[in-house]
Chain A
Amino acid sequence: MITLSNIEKVYQTKSIETVALQHVNLRVPKGEFLSIMGPSGCGKSTLLNIMGLLDVPSQGVVEIDGQAITSYKDKELAHIRNEKIGFVFQSYHLVNDLSVLDNVELPLLYRSSVSASDRTKLAKTALEKVGLSARTKHFPAQLSGGQRQRVAIARALIGQPQIILADEPTGNLDSVMGEEIMNILLDLNRQDGTTIVMVTHDENMAQKTERLVRFFDGQQVSDAKVFANNLQQV
């Protein structure tokens, strides 16, 4: 589903060159739930942004669904993101001025093939899936952290993307809420076959996924399958 070949990311300022990622080779097969762990600043989020085509690598090739993403124009990248990828962020990034329903509908605004009534129907279905169908008219500020993250997940899945990239989705939540969110993601992966890549600091959450990749100083240091709390090196 996603293949990263020899990815490097270097941030260049006038005086300093910061290497965020180096020699990253990673293949995420279709339907896999992969978690990425590592200390802060090790390049996890940068990697996720590159996978999500929000950022471009300094070197290397990203392939999505067998398509090498090189020299794509802004519009083409936007189209691929819209069709194939859903994002879940640690701080939810809901649009505070829009209702829950409008927030969830947002990705479909950029699909001309979906009518306004279908948009609303799909948004309601997505909210039902995350258990928030009673909150369609609420605004983000009226919701708890866990509820906001569920709205964010509904927004990520409304377009039925093949991939969901989740950047510390439970990072701002207490353990109970975190558990709830994790279960929703696991359901999505198991029932719908959605490929999920999740960056996390939480070892327990990572243990629930199928595969765990660890990073340190911009480099991939381990890659292991998870078998009922036991890791097996790939």
Chain B
Amino acid sequence: MTHFDAAAAAVQAALDAGARYADARVMHRRTESMSARNGEIEDLSQDEDAGVGVRALVGSGWGFYAVPDMSDPAARAAGTRAAKIAAASASVPGPATGLIPLPAATGSWSSPCEIDPLSVPLSDKAELMVGLTTTMREHGADLAESHYRIWDTAKWFVSSEGHRIDQRFRECGGGITATSIGDGESQRRSYGNQYGTRGWEMVTGLDLPGNAARVAIESRELLTAAPCPAGQTSLILGSEQMALQIHESVGHAIELDRILGWEAAYAGTSWLDLSQLGSMRYGSALMNIAIDPTIPGALGSFGFDDEGTPAAARYAVHEGRWVGVLAGRDSASVAGLDYAGSVRSDGWARLPMVRMTNVGLEPGPHTLEEIIASTDDGIFMDTNRSWSIDDRRLNFQFGCEIGWEIKNGKIGRMLRNPTYTGIGPTFWQSMDMLSSEVTAWGIPNCGKGQPGQTGHTGHPAAPARFTDVRVGVTG
């Protein structure tokens, strides 16, 4: 019995039990993670999970059931159970649920991978991780930590509408962190923490060894750096922090399930109003945000989403105007839209839901050097340390690991504990310079949903300048 057979059996059982639509995902995932601390391996884990998850639509009610067993009887039982759960949903019905049309498709897709990350000898990986922490300790870090993570996921998708798709994702990444402990506070500098749908070349390309000494030295210097001043100023963000800014204040805000209120009780809603899609100004004319799961090697890339919709790029924000959302087939139907393609699940045991794919900025006309040179008075911040945003994705406060004063077009003294706060559309409309130096950052820990799911998202981002931003908020 193939994995396709198991998925098909689950779908058929759901239909036999009364579902008008059903789909099933068989998934087999192997992961490996290693972390080192102060010259020793602190944790090494190799994990495996496999199972089938079935989604059934009975009337307007969804049901989902998952089991870690791909045998024919188990798959059929899961399909039947999913349909029964869906029937229970009908006792408290919501608005009528439909699915926008999706042509039946068969296909295969694999992420690019030059070096299979699970085939790299553990001894080589351990030597790298330990060596990184040794270097950071030698350069003054009280705590030196390094890590990598690898996911190797195979999926087989079958729907009652004729989809039959298999995909293989190899994802990995890693990073280093140096922490220096002072009398009243600790300071941290990190590097890397970058992930993609790529092989081990993703990690070697980061040049972690070449940055270990620098982050250690900077973490130590931060202990005696001047505090970030409080006030309103021009703010320059590095591309890594920009990725987080995009993720939190654009990516989540354009999730259609949030806009429709489906996440109201937990993750929250969105300040965006569907009636303004296509007309509302989100940011300055420099702001072009694309939803693009086709970027080779980016963490949010795929061939098909978890409903079988082929990957396709579209704008979310074009020249500052809000024009697109992240949608699934059911949410698009409710909203009257004709596209989906942004539904994913965190493994076979979780319900597919609207998630970010790659959501990021297109290149601007400037360089970081030009941005700094044209700033008379401002602060440059980079690398996220803390993030908080309200349940409508409007009011944010982000803290960065490091800042620098900008005076008369030049980088000045280092600043510790830099923070900035603002309101999403006001902030984005103040973006007056944007670099062309785009990096496709990957965030592997995006939380959403109940039960909780962790998503992998990509965010092309470049350094940018924002005007009149409140900085230096402290407790």
Interaction A to B: no
Which A residues have a C-beta under 8 Å from some C-beta of B? none
Which B residues have a C-beta under 8 Å from some C-beta of A? none
